[in-house]
Structure formats: structure tokens, C-alpha cells
Structure 1
Amino acid sequence: MTDLPGRENDPNENPFAMFGDPDQMAAAMRQFADMLSAPQGSGPVNWDMAKNIARHAVVAEGDPSVMEGERRQIVDALRLADLWLNEATALPSGLSTPEAWSRSEWIERTVPVWKQLCDPIAERMVETMSGTLGGLGGESGAAMAQLGPLVGMMRQMGGMMVGGQIGQALGALAPEVIGSTDIGLPLSGTAALLPAGIAAFSHGLEIPSEEIRLYLALREAAHHRLFQHVPWLRSQLFGAVEEYARGITVDVSALEEQVRGLDINNIEQIQEALSGGALLKPEESDRQKAALARLETLLALVEGWVGTVTDAAATGKLPSAAALSETVRRRRATGGPAERTFATLVGLELRPRRLREAAALWQALAAARGVEGRDAVWSHPDLMPDAGDLDDPEAFVRGDGGLDMSAFDDERPGEGKPGDDGPGA
């Protein structure tokens, strides 16, 4: 039977026309058979695959095991730093079993939290990929029936492609992380530092290695005090990330254009087409902007408090504390590898843009109310400064907002309400 002119390229009549000869597509599908037979697990991303890609990347760059001497130095530094923090904050210790990690161990230990952060946007990406392919077949029932297996295959492939992208991003980030709190979020319930990350941070700094290690240990231990003993903080931060992610869509027109021009025999072309970065498109809705503003303010307050407490604890003990503080501030404020990686994974820069203002606010609170009064602000989210307070910290310190703090007098820092979930929940 001879096809009618033009019908062979009409997706409504031949839904495989955009991919060339169906025989070629079938051959390509067989090429993917082994890859697609790998268990996907629950959720939109193949996280086993993501972990393997990330670990292979760090091993290729060199990932020596942590030596016993290095481990002891890290553990001792974290314990000493935690003792110093007792003089600088009313929040109790968040240190239980300090550890020293290799880069591969960092990947393994932080993947559960990356999963929570990345799955919302990954689900949207994978659903849109498969839905767009289904839509390209038109409304014909026969066309949809023919496309069904392809859409299922592309959904699985999409999940694997996103997993591959995440694995590459984590593999690129691992060589530069210092501990478990580099991005300002609690990636692990365990305080840990990476000897290799400290060495990379120290490169070019004419400061004794012991001072650098202790200063970074102070920051790590301070983060864990905050996340362990402010029960609502984790959920507020993660909630803002998830709210923002819900406002991100995949650029359907761009995806449609790329899919129509695919050479199904060109695996690299398919991988490039399905990579998420070029297809992410924020809606810029008011709701999304509010989530981003809330996230940036919270991150600035976390980083500002950690910096303030760390510097107070280091004063008189570490001669290079001021220089190290400025180095860390610039690293966080200008956007380092952690921010770029997070932008790749969930579509936004995780950057505390107002670090100086937040630090000034915490310092003003300590001067006016003392350390306990400053840290009491963390006892309830309704007591926290907002973006406007960063513009006028003195007004917040004076209490011009009119919030009655006496209602929270019985709730001390580090003592959450019954039933509150801690950071490991």
C-alpha cells in the first residue's frame, strides 16, 4: 500500500514521523534496553544512578580515604569549637558524634536531603517531558495508543536523564565542599568536615592550618546548634524551597522544538535535549517571588547568626579570625560552587544576599538584649526579623513592630514545643 503524499510526515497520522523511520526508532529502543531495565525505584529520579555518577566523578578527580590522623584532627577541632561556642550562644550543643568524611562519604550521607530538595522539580520536569510527547501525537486515539509505549519509555528515560544531571552536579560540587552545611541547609544530622575540602579552602591563604580548621569547625558546630535546637527552622527553609520549585515549569515550547528535531539514533542528542537546565522557566508569580524572598531572608539570618556567633567565639583565640570571616563571607555572598550546583538542581540560586545586614541585626540584638535575648528570637518563627527589618535593624531591636515577646517567655531557645520535629525528621 502506498502512503498518501504528505501523510507520512503528519504527526496526527504517523506519531513516529518526528523520529524518522519506525524501524530506526525500534533499533534505538533496543540500544536503550539495558539502561532502561535498571530499577528506577520510587519517585521521579533514579537516585542510585545519580549517586554512582557523582561518586565516579569524585574518584576520577582523586578521593583519598580519610587517614586516622586527619580524622582525629577534625573530631578534636569540632569538639573544641563546640566548647568555645558555649561562651557565645545560649543554644546548647548540637554535636553528638562529629565525623570526618571523604568526598564520596559526603555524597552518600547527603543524598537523602538532596532527594527531598530535588524531587519536586524533577517530578515536574519528567511529567512535562512525557506529557509533551503524548501531546505531539494529536488527539487521535490510534495515535495516542501508538505513542503510549514511547511516552512510558521517555518518562523513564527522563527520570534517568535528570538523575544523571543531578549526579554530575553533585560530583562537581563534592570536590569543593567543606562540611555538611555549605549551602546553609542541614544536609545531614551529623556535624562533619572534609579534610580535602579544608585543604582546597586553605589554598593560597597564609594562615596556619590549625586556625583554619578550628574556624571552619566553629561554623559547622554553630550551624548544628541552630538546626538541632530550632525545631521549626528546617521545615521553613525546605518549605520555601519546595514552594519556589512548584512555581518552576518546563518550557514546553522549547522542549517541543527539541523533541521534533531529535535524531533517535543519536543518544548524545537525546541526553542534551532532556537535560533540565536549558528548559527550566520560572513563572515569576507573586507566590514564587514571595517564597524566594522568604528563603533568601531566612538564609541571610542563618548565615548572619552563624557568622556572628563564630566570630564571637573565635575572638581572642584565633588571631586570623577576622581574615577568615571575610573570606567565608565573600565565598557565600558572591556565589560559589554550592550556589551554582543548587541552581542546576532546583532552578534557583541559594544565596544569602544580605549577609552584612543580617549580621548587623544580630549584633545589635546582642548589644541591646544580651546573648540570651538575641538567641530567644529563634524560639518562634513569629519573632523572626523579615526583609524589612534588615533595612532597619534598630527599629526591630526597639520592638517597633509591636510584637509581644512575653507570650513566648516560657519557650526557651533549644526547647521546642511538644511534638515539634527536629532537623532529622
Structure 2
Amino acid sequence: MSDQHQPGESPQSWEEMLRSMLGDGADEVMAEMRERGIDPTALGGAPDPVMMQYALAQVQKMLSAEGTGPVNADVAHDVARQVAVSEGDPSLTGRQAKDATDALGVAELWLDAVTDLPPAGGTRRAWNRSEWVEATLPVWNELAAPVASSVSEALATVLRDQLPDGVDDGEAVPGMPAGVLHGLGGSIDPAQMMKRLGSAVFGMQVGQAAGTLSREVFGATDVGLPLLDSPDTVLLPTNVAEFADGLDAPLEEVRQFLAVREAAHARLFTHVPWLRSHLLSIVERYARGITIDLDALEAQVRDIDLADSDALRSALSGGVFGLQNTDEQKAVLLNLETTLALVEGWVDEVSALAALPHLPHAIPLREMIRRRRAAGGPAEQTFSTLVGLELRPRRSRDAATLFAIVARAQGPEGRDAVWDHPDLLPGTEDLDDPAGYLVRREAAENEHADVDAALKEIFGEEEGQDPTGSDPEKPAGPETPTNPEKPADPEK
């Protein structure tokens, strides 16, 4: 017999009701009940009023206004921690931590030889999966918030039309156990309740994504976005060891290569001061411009059990984002994809140069990471889930080629100078034709120089002349007119 009741049916036991209402959170609630001496599986028949009140308190806790927003951060945190440890998350040994931090220290020395960007200057850290979740989850919540807000509003709009009249007075909602609305505050506005439920469901999605990422990432920068607000460098020894298992390269080489990439990312995000806010603002602009397909959303939630959080989460996980992006949206998306490709391309090129003299397997390791990204790495999957955003990591190869060309022509200084200003970053045309980038850049710089010269001429800032138009070599004499209403006669 299935633990989940079918849509429209009433739950036949307390355990079934809790699972249908709370989904993944049911086990935690039932565990707490058992600690209080109450076993839900031993309760038969209809729940008694005391037990109903207790369960509703748990649901109210999940849907309460406190700590909620577009993304329920509390739910996201709980789910992320559960997912992170679902396949094991042992505490790190002293040896694991030392090996990781030593590798990060060596990485800085190797990078000093290939780039003028100095070390990030933060603390070198070794984390397990739970620690990674704790440190990065605030950024994931921030990235998902714009879309979560739109989805919650759309969900409330759709369900407002579906809910029967009078439900705001506590009448039954199809698929939801009787008394739930009363337990959530009596005559609570059902649309407001749906917003809270949407916030909780999106919190589950964020938590699921972050928890899954914690089992895949090697450090704090794998996704190409700055997930920390500090210049720390990080390795996750457990994930590094799992990745190295089965490779031809020894663990020590794999760890060191990944440490170089982590340290290179940290240098870039720290010493290109506009880059972090630039990337996050692009993601936010894109997310805020996403439209929700109300027809698709209505079709997906029409027949689901409103008390089944797993079913609702599945309905909101895809297919409701508007596909008809505006021209502005397309431009923002292209800007984001290009910038992420440039970040990955710079790190790819600099890391390879730093590691090649020291690691025999540097070339195959570089290719392994490239293929991992091209196959759809954690960044692509997470963005797709959270904000309906598909990335194209294949562009990182073109970006790496571009940086290599610039370095050969202008040295490491010229390569790193590409990051001097966001307006000077290479565009999609440059990634399409990396070999022609320097020619186009020189032409653009000449054009800017001509514009600057013209502006100086317009404002009288030619060489040897101050902005007022007077000649600095000719001091003012008695003939200089002092009465503006009676100019000096040039014939006298």
C-alpha cells in the first residue's frame, strides 16, 4: 500500500497525512513526535484533535511568515543540509585539512609566476559538504529570489481562480486535509497561504539544488560565480577524492590542479573589483525579466494534491517559465553567458600555464575539467532549475583561446588587462573569432582616442591652451579689457 494518497482522497492515517503535507520534511516531523513519545505509525483511524493541532503547528512553522520571503530560507537550509549528508558527509581529518590547505598555498606560488594579479589574501580552508552549504546558501537564495517571487505571485493568481468560494472562511480545499486552513490561522487568505506555500516549495528547490551541488563541487568557485563574500579559497577533500577515484592521475595531482583553479578564481574575483557585482546583477536582471506562463502553470497544478509538497515542487520545477524572451532579455542572457565564459576561459588558461611545469597530468586534467563543463556541469543544471536559465559552457574554450592569443601578443600584462573595465570586455563576436580580437580592439581604442581628442578640441583643451581660451604664454596687460560693456578697440 502506497504511503501517498491519490489526489482528491482523504488520508487514511496520520503517517499518510504527514507525508502528503510535508513531503521530505515528514520524516523530521515524525522523528520529533517519536521523541515526545508519539508514534504516528501506531495511530489508527482519524487523527484526534490534540494530534491534529500538533501536526498543524508543524505545517504552520513551515509556512509561517517569520523567516520567509520569495524563498523560505529556513526550508532551504534544512533541505540543503539533509541532501548534503544523504550520501555521507564525514568530518575531515587533520591530514585531509592540511593536505588541502597546503595545496592551496602551493597554488599561489605557481600562479605568481604566470599572472600579475596578486593572491586573494583570504584564509585557506578545507570544508565538508555541510560547511559548503552553510557558507554559500545565502547567495543561492539571493539568486533565486526574483524568479521565486514571480512564481509565487503566479501560483496565487492561478489558485485564486481554482479555490471554491468561502474557502477563506476555513472551508475545505480539495486535496487538503480538513482543518488545515483553520490551523494556519482561521480565516487566512488562501492566496496569501499559496504565496507562503510557494515560498516554502521554492525553498525546497533551492535547498535541493545547493545540497546536490555540495556533493559535486571541489571548492567555492566551480559554478563560475562568486559564492562567498570573502576572498577565502576552499577545497572539499571528500569530493576531490571521489573525483580522483578511477582517474589515471594520482590524488595528489588532482588535488593540486583543482587548488590552482580555485586560487585563480579567487584572484580574479578579488582583484577585479567590479566583477562580482557585475555577474550577480546580470543574473538578477535576467531573472526579473522572466515571465511565467500562467496557462502552463494552471495545467500543471490543476489536478495535483495541494497538500502534497513534492507534487507541487515538481509542478514548479520547469515548464512554467515564459519562452518568449524579449530582445532585452536575450541581450542580458548573452551578456551573462559571455561573461561566465570569459571567467572560465581566463581561469582555464592561467591554471594550465601554472600547473604545466609541475604536474605530469596537467593536460589531461585540463581536458577532463573542460569536458565536465561542456557536458552540463553543476552551474548549468542549477541555473536551469532555479531561474530557468540555460548556460553554454562550451564558450569557455573560445575564451581560453582568446586569452592565449592576447598573452602571446602582449604578454601576461595584456591578457590580464582585458579585465580593466566591464565596457572593454570581449563580446560574442570576439569569442566567435578570437584571432581577430586584437585588431578589433585596436580599432576601438583608436576610435575612442579620436573621440577624446575631439572633445578636448571642443572644450578648448588643446595643447598650450587652458579651458578658458586664454594663452598661458601671454600675460594679461593693461590692454586687457576689464569693462565687459566696452570692449577694447582692436585698432588702437
Alignment TM-score, normalising by the size of structure 1: 0.83
Asked whether the equivalents of residues 20 and 264 of structure 1 are also in contact (C-alpha less than 8 Å), the reply is no
| Structure with the higher helix share, 1 or 2 | 1
SS of the aligned residue for 2:224 comes to coil
Asked whether the equivalents of residues 54 and 171 of structure 1 are also in contact (C-alpha less than 8 Å), the reply is yes
Q: Which runs of 5+ in 2 are unaligned?
A: 1-6, 11-20, 22-51, 171-186, 450-492
* Residue of 284, 287, 312 corresponding to 2:353: 312
Distance 2:198 2:398 in 1: 42
Residue equivalent to 2:291: 249
Distance 2:309 2:286 in 1: 32
The structure showing larger relative contact order (alpha-carbon pairs under 8 Å, at least 6 residues apart) is 1
Asked whether the equivalents of residues 224 and 379 of structure 2 are also in contact (C-alpha less than 8 Å), the reply is no
- Could you say if the C-alpha distance between residues 268 and 359 of structure 1 is closer, same or farther in structure 2, counting changes exceeding 3 Å? closer
Counterpart check, 1:37 vs 2:61: yes
Counterpart check, 1:284 vs 2:325: yes
Asked whether the equivalents of residues 341 and 393 of structure 2 are also in contact (C-alpha less than 8 Å), the reply is yes
Residue equivalent to 1:134: 160
> What per-residue deviation string (whole Å, max 9, x for no partner) do you get for residues 357-410 of structure 1?
111110111111111121112111122111101122233213344225998xxx
Counterpart check, 1:205 vs 2:254: no
Counterpart check, 1:93 vs 2:125: no
> What per-residue deviation string (whole Å, max 9, x for no partner) do you get for residues 185-223 of structure 1?
111132101001111221221112111111111000000
Q: Which runs of 5+ in 1 are unaligned?
A: 1-17, 22-27, 408-425
In the TM superposition, residue 156 of structure 1 has moved relative to its aligned partner by: 0.8
In the TM superposition, residue 46 of structure 1 has moved relative to its aligned partner by: 1.2
> What per-residue deviation string (whole Å, max 9, x for no partner) do you get for residues 218-256 of structure 1?
000000000001011112211221122123233211222
Residue equivalent to 2:206: 166
Asked whether the equivalents of residues 159 and 191 of structure 2 are also in contact (C-alpha less than 8 Å), the reply is yes
Counterpart check, 1:67 vs 2:108: no
Asked whether the equivalents of residues 247 and 283 of structure 1 are also in contact (C-alpha less than 8 Å), the reply is no
Distance 2:204 2:263 in 1: 32
Distance 1:113 1:264 in 2: 29
In the TM superposition, residue 341 of structure 1 has moved relative to its aligned partner by: 2.2
SS of the aligned residue for 1:99 comes to strand
Distance 1:337 1:296 in 2: 15
In the TM superposition, residue 329 of structure 1 has moved relative to its aligned partner by: 0.8
Deviates more, 1:373-382 or 1:279-288: 279-288
Query: What's the C-alpha RMSD, in Å, of the aligned pairs?
Result: 2.8
Distance 1:230 1:166 in 2: 28
1:34 maps to amino acid: Q
Identity value in percent:
48
2:239 maps to amino acid: G
- Could you say if the C-alpha distance between residues 76 and 278 of structure 1 is closer, same or farther in structure 2, counting changes exceeding 3 Å? same
Residue equivalent to 1:354: 395
Residue equivalent to 1:151: 191
Asked whether the equivalents of residues 349 and 404 of structure 2 are also in contact (C-alpha less than 8 Å), the reply is yes
SS of the aligned residue for 1:231 comes to coil
The number of aligned residues is 383
Alignment TM-score, normalising by the size of structure 2: 0.72
Distance 2:422 2:310 in 1: 48
In the TM superposition, residue 82 of structure 1 has moved relative to its aligned partner by: 0.6
Deviates more, 1:96-105 or 1:228-237: 228-237
Distance 1:89 1:267 in 2: 50
SS of the aligned residue for 2:151 comes to helix
The structure having more radius of gyration, on CA atoms, is 2
Distance 2:379 2:245 in 1: 18
